[in-house]
Amino acid sequence: MRNRLQTLVKSLLVIACISVSFNSSAQDPEWVDLAVHNFGAPINTMWAEGELSFAADGTMVYCSARQDMAVAPGDPKDLYIATFNAETGSWNTPVNMGIPINAPPATDADPMRAGDDREPWITADGNTIYFKSDRLATTSPRNANDLFITRKVNGQWSTPELIGFPISTNVGNEHCPAILQDGETLCFASMREGGYGGSDIYCSKPDGNGGWQEPVNQGPNINTAAEEFHFSQDKDGMVYFTSSKPGGFGGTDIYSAMMQGENTWAAARNLGSQVNTSGADMCPAFPPGDNTITWFSTRDDNSLGNIDIFWTNKLNVSE
């Protein structure tokens, strides 16, 4: 019982520290509230960092192209886990999730199997991670990647399993998995036939037999002839996603849309110039507390030299 209480207290302290680090408690907005912040070291490096997500206890999973900790030389991206240090108020050194979570290159089996593992989504309980991988990629038919799942069993992450049809397909290049706030709806991007253009966002619920229902395209308020991907929902029901549709600030911008019902969304709105830049701004996620938004960007202001992860207070978001 004492150990359980200590674990609970530690978890609460971590969440509190993360909330304080990401959120100002001042009555009037100060510079911390109004600024866009680089996550800094040890998360961001001279290499490219990317998609991230958070468990309810503050555990963060993300991907990086860093070569000093890669599972194999030249590995495009690996998945990493980082925990927050409540005593120092900063992130602990991230840990490469290792093999078999991260697959080394297997170009001898197929030239498209470069060892690219990225776009992780960790569930609130911290026990399941969905992600994209090219470990089963095929040149013919040309399928660059599929979705996989790993579960924590007795403190160890299981060998990733393919999330099969109708989620992963032979030609859809499925990517960017995420679970909505209901805790069961899996959303992802796919280039399968019948969409509006490039990658469209689809959502699916469990079928009750260990599989998934036929995915539903999220419709014209979300998807366009351009690229849409990475659905991330906050506790208010607002969903945030990436789009390359015309009219934004750069190559890809982050948009939001309010949920109006199952698979139904209000018109999407650009998050504005505080978040979006002339570069690529992508893949939003929410730390504990839900008062801030995180994403990664090619923006050149406040950068550590490559693609970095950033955060800002939600008050800077245009909705």
What residue spans define the domains of the chain? 2-316
When mean pLDDT is compared across 88-92, 102-106, 240-244, the lowest value belongs to 88-92
Distances in Å between the Cα of 250 and the Cα atoms of 170, 220, 245, 276, 283 are 31, 21, 10, 7, 15
pLDDT digits (tens, 9 = 90+) for 144-197: 999 999 999 999 999 999 999 999 999 999 999 999 999 999 999 999 999 999
CATH number of 2-316, picked from 3.20.20.80, 3.40.950.10, 2.120.10.30, 3.30.70.1380: 2.120.10.30
pLDDT digits (tens, 9 = 90+) for 33-89: 779 999 999 999 999 999 999 999 999 999 999 999 999 999 999 999 999 888 888
What is the pLDDT averaged over residues 211-237? 97
* Residue listed under structure tokens 């690996």: 78
pLDDT of residue 13 exceeding 50, the answer is no
Q: What is the pTM for the complete model shown?
A: 0.92
Please provide residue 114's backbone torsions phi and psi, each rounded to the nearest 5 degrees.
Answer: -90, -5
